[in-house]
Structures are given as C-alpha cells and as structure tokens.
Structure 1
C-alpha cells in the first residue's frame, strides 16, 4: 500500500503517489524556524525534516538561556506518510499556507507553543545546484520568510512568554542534499570538497533584508541573492538587488566576528553593520551533528535531550563550525534591526586566510 493522505491533495510532482519523490535517495523536504526577542535575546530555533526514500522523519527544537543551548531531538520511521508533521514530542501545524504556522513542543522538560506569522510573501531563492565531479551534491529550492512569533517556551518548569515584537525567520527547502548515512563510495581522485556559505536574514521596523552567498575557495560567488521586502509585499513587489558582505573571523574559530553588508537599495547604496550578540550551534538542529544528523535511522521512535554549554564548545571541532549568530544590525536609512549571521566554512577559504581544512581564524 502506497496511497497516503497527500494523495487526496494536488501535490504530485511525478506520475507516482506522493509517497515517492523521484528516484534520488537523498531527496528531502524541510521546515526551519528561528526567532528572538525584540532586543535580540532569548534565541530559539526548530526544524522538521522528511526523507521519503529513507523512510525517516526527524525534528529538533532548541532554546538558548543563560549561556546553555537546550536541544530536543526526535526521529521516527516515516511509514511513507509525508503529511504527518508529528515526530514524537515535536509537531508542526500549517495554519495558513505561506503565511502562518505553529510549532508545538512537549518532551524531556522542554515545552513550547509558538505561532509564526509572515511579514510579507516568502521569497523564492534561485535553484541551488552543486556537483562534485559528476555527482550531484545539492539540487534544491528554498523559500524564506521573515515574521513575528507569539506564544511561550518552558524549560524545566520555567515558562517565558514571548514579548510583543518577537521576530525571526522561517524557511522551507526541498530537493537533494546529503542526508542519512555517509556515502562510502569516494569521489574521483584529486577531488576535495569545499563549501563556503553565509546567510543573513534581517528584520527592520518596516522591511526585511535577505542576503546569501555560496562561494569558491578563492572567494568568487557561485550562488548569491539579495532581496528587500517591505511589510505586506507580495511576490511581484520584492526588490531584487545586489549586495556584498565584508566580514572577519573571531580569532581561533571559523565563526564571524563582525560584518558589513553593502546593499544596493531603492534609494542608493546602504551599509548594514552587524554587531554580534550571541551564538547558536546549528548541531542543535541536527546540522553537522555526529549523532542526530539529518535522516539518520534511530528506529521506530527515538527522543533525546542535549544541553550544550556554549562557553565550552571547541571551535576546532567540525561539528561546531556551523553557527548562527544573533546580531544587532544598524543602517542610516533603515534604522536599527535584528537578524542572524549564519556561516559555514568547510575546507580552505582564501579571503579569510584559511589554507588548510583544519585552519582556524
């Protein structure tokens, strides 16, 4: 039996039932959320992934309090039902497609009820395809949306209501990227994988600014986009433009120290300055986690809590390289806003003086 709930909706992308997503075992479909209080504090994040050909779903929730990142991980067998957005103690509800979603958490001393409401229509990023030699590494589409959160988070009995003005970003991506157990078949000789990525979604009072770049080891952009979206903007109202990020590394790490984003705005060049306020380790959502990496099989259902003392993270460990840094962002025309500076560097990156895979700033 392969018919599922999704087959009663006009969602099919192939001649087969929705349970099948083409033929690539690395196909995935993912929700991502992060948010922060109006002053950039009380950072939280969530993710939910579906891996149809691995027959696995997993989900994660994280909240940072007092220098500790509290993480809840869950994984289950998908049972080919892609419309079931529950994974153990974590559930996603789509209240109004492309506008409002709800996150519900209840497990291992961590509880939350958060509703995200978009500020404008989501932006669609260009299709992102990377090949290593003849092999597809990524081939995906992502939509990104800034918005406001309402609700509360409770950690070990201490409940905090999200203050009015709590902001953040959510995205949806789907396609092909490395998931599940590592492919043991090596690439052709002489092929070394490198990856440089920066992503900065920013919330200002009346608009959102989005920028990302994937670059070669010498700094040449491969995939980049900048968009300015006024509140209430629809798809045709987005201002697509160009931007350039100048950044530096915290000494002894691959984490950003600061940043200056120069954007070609509607009224001319605008310089956005980033002041780092904190740090979030992306392994709390499964990214680069050796145990809770996306799509790994843990049996019919597995749930685990993981608390990370952020002051004790070793920046030399690969699992700690991928970060999101909550930032205060200032601009002459746009005023003061908040956002995140996400960065991942794998391998050499000449503009930062990283010559070897193990180099730190």
Structure 2
C-alpha cells in the first residue's frame, strides 16, 4: 500500500501516507478557488477539487455564473495509489510553488466552460480556527483550513466567449481545508433527525480584499445564536506582520423579499474594550454553488460520492429558473463590495467573497421553519 509520497518525510501517524489518521468515512482533503474581474457583468468562477481517502474517490467541479447562466462541469474518479495525483479527466490542480502559485485547468470540450489559470498569492496564507462540532455523540465537523488572496493570470472561455485574464484586474481567494465533515452518500440520520435545533445552519464566510490587507470572517450559529465558530482576522500583505484578531463578530443581515438571499449585511467586530470596526457588505452577484457541484442538493452527485472509475459531466441552468425552495437549502457565494470603517474612523473600500447561508430556523431573523422566507 505504499505510494511515492512515502519517500518524503511527511508522515503524521504510524501508517503509510495513503492511510489517514482516522478511519472516519467523512475524512476529506480539498481545494477551493474563486476568480472574478470585479464586475458583476463578467464571469464569477468557482473551482473545487477534493480527495476522500476513506471513500476511495477524487472529484472536482467548476461552476461559473455569467449573466443568467449557471454553467457546471464536474468530474469524479477512483482514487489511485497517489493522493498527490490532482487530475480528474480534463481537470488539473498543479502546485507550482507551495503557498504561492497554483495552476487550475479545465481542458476544452467538456461543456460550455474551459480555463487555464494561475493563482499568484498576494497575501500570506492564514490559518483559521479549528472547526469542531459534535451532534449527540458523533463528531460531524473536525476540520482545519487556511485562506489566501491573490491574482489570476491566463485564459477563460465561457459559453464561447474568450476572456484574457490579467493579474492587474482579475482577483480572488482560495482555501485549503481538510479533516472530517459530511461527504459521500447520505447516511441515515437516526436519532439525530429529531435534534432539529442542531441541524439549523447559519453561516457567513467572507474574504474581503483591501489595498494593504485582507479580512477573513467566519460565523456559524445554531438556531438560538449559539456560536459553533466566530472569528474575524486582518491579514496584512506584509508577511512580517502577524494576523490581527479584530474582535467578536456581530451581524445584521437584510434579505431580498421572498427568499433568504442577502440584500445587504453589516458586520461589526467588537473588542472587549469597546473598540469597533464596521463593514458594510453589498452582494453584487450570486453563484449558487449548491446546484450541480456536489454540496448536497442532488442526491446523485455529492462530494466524495462513488461515480465509477471515471466520470465527467456538464450541465447548465438559468439562474432565474432555479428552484426557489431548493435555494433555501443552498449555500451561495456572492461577489461583493465592502466598505470598512476602522477604529480611528477612517474608511476603505474592498471587494471579494461573501458566502452566506441560513438553513432552517434562526431566532434572530425570525425563521421558525425550514421553508420560511422574508
């Protein structure tokens, strides 16, 4: 059961590299990237690739929002001897320079989307707090993740339209996460199905890019507002400066009428001494990443699910025709603008990711059932 990776001094447990430190079926190790031109009229591209050692699967997806089009290409294959093989059919993730330069590629001919892009980091990779959650006795989340902002270079083709991607104007962020979270074929809920408060999911994950720094924000709450996670950090471009904890996160979200999509949000980061930083968030363009990519809406294609030795598919939807009820159970990644007011009253503008989801009841916003809308 050896692989070429066993020749490197990277072992973490008394096992070969292909055997991770837990036999939990839900162990995963994955990449996420987004790429934008800063204009909601241009493509808003999101790419992911995951390795699931205990399920024997590697899979990936690319989804682009362009106008009213939601275009997906996805692939899956049997995991071989080498977890470092990051190619699935026409997809490729290639580490050119660790924590600095990464190439992502989708060859033409597999749908209405292709690209060959290089991500070049413009800020240090920052480790986020550990994500841990237990429901009854079962550990459902136990993950680590780092985040990083950067610039893109290369070529992107969407629906027959070619875009020259230049680093001065094409930006984005990426993250790497690994650990345990629900993946693969759905498991029977058993007694957990009766514990509905624990299955409510309020989530904000935002990566804001400003001139001299990035700000990363994570909030996960239960129905009552009890925090599973809550963190806000300023990540300076200067690698010599440590990331700065900004304070406890407070949120005020307004919703688009008739659903649970955010129209705007105010985030406040409050220090124990009363110092406060305030950010006004304005979503510009939503990419509904739950549709077609494996995040759990479709039971025939979930991250880590066995699809056979190799399978590549493409699909597309009109965003205006996406099922409104299904969207209530769907995370969405918004290209957003941000206006930050610092402790000293100075303001600065930025742009980036505002990922948002509120699934199930949530007391602060008056949702009492899973299908309540504003």
Task: Give yes or no for TM over 0.5.
Answer: yes
Residue 108 in 1 paired to residue 110 in 2? yes
Q: Name which of 281, 284, 288 aligns with 1:277.
A: 284
CA change 1:319–1:76 in 2 (3 A) is farther
Pair 1:18 & 2:17 matched:
yes
* 8 Å CA contact retained: 1:48, 1:57: yes
Shift of 1:12: 1.8
**Contact map agreement 1:144 1:172 (CA 8 A) in 2:** yes
- Counterpart-to-counterpart distance in 1, 2:147 and 2:37: 20
Q: Does residue 258 of structure 1 match 2:264?
A: yes
Partner of 1:135: 138
Q: Distance in 2 between matches of 1:188 and 1:219?
A: 20
Asked whether 1:76 is paired with 2:77, we answer yes
8 Å contact from structure 2 (residues 297, 326) kept in 1: no
User: How far has the Cα of 1:186 moved from its partner?
Assistant: 0.8
Give the CA deviation at 1:264.
Answer: 5.2
How far does the alpha carbon of each residue in 1:181-240 deviate from its partner, in whole angstroms, 9 at most, with x for none?
111251357322222111110011221111110112112322111111121335x62111
1:175 to 171, 176, 179: 179
Structure 2 contact 63–289 (Cα < 8 Å) conserved: no
In structure 1, C-alpha distance between the alignment counterparts of 2:164 and 2:289, rounded to whole Å? 24
Q: Answer yes or no: is the 8 Å Cα contact 1:249–1:352 preserved in 2.
A: no
Q: Which runs of 4+ in 1 moved over 4 A?
A: none
- Whole-angstrom distance in 2 between the partners of 1:321 and 1:146: 24
Say if 1:334 and 1:102 are closer, same or farther in 2 by CA, change over 3 A: farther
Q: For 1:285, what is the secondary structure of its paired residue?
A: coil
Aligned mates of 1:358, 1:87 — CA distance in 2: 37
Partners of 2:226 and 2:151 lie apart in 1 by 34
Aligned to 2:212: 206
Change beyond 3 A, Cα 1:220–1:237: same
* In structure 2, C-alpha distance between the alignment counterparts of 1:289 and 1:89, rounded to whole Å: 24
Aligned length: 358
Displacement after TM superposition at 1:156 (Å) = 4.0
Displacement of 1:179 in angstroms is 0.8
Aligned to 1:85: 86
Match of 1:123 in 2: 126
Q: Does 2:365 align with 1:352?
A: yes
* Alignment RMSD (CA, Å): 2.0
Counterpart position of 1:304: 313
The equivalent of 1:61 in structure 2 is 62
Alignment-derived partner of residue 237 in structure 1: 242
State TM-score, norm by structure 2: 0.90
- Tell me the TM-score normalized by structure 1: 0.93
Q: For each residue in 1:221-261, what CA deviation from the matched residue of structure 2 results, as whole angstroms up to 9, or x when unmatched?
A: 22111111121335x62111213222122222222121112
The alpha-carbon distance between structure 1 residues 253 and 55, as it changes in their structure 2 partners (threshold 3 A), is: same
CA 1:64 to 1:188, structure 2 compared with 1: closer, same or farther past 3 Å? Answer: closer
* 1:8-48 CA distance string (max 9 Å, x none): 22222221111111211110001000121134542111000
What is the CA-CA distance between 1:104 and the residue it aligns to? 0.8
Moved more, 325-334 or 29-38: 325-334
CA deviations 1:47-77 (Å, max 9, x no partner) are 0000001100000112222221211100000
Contact persistence 1:288–1:318 (CA under 8 A): no
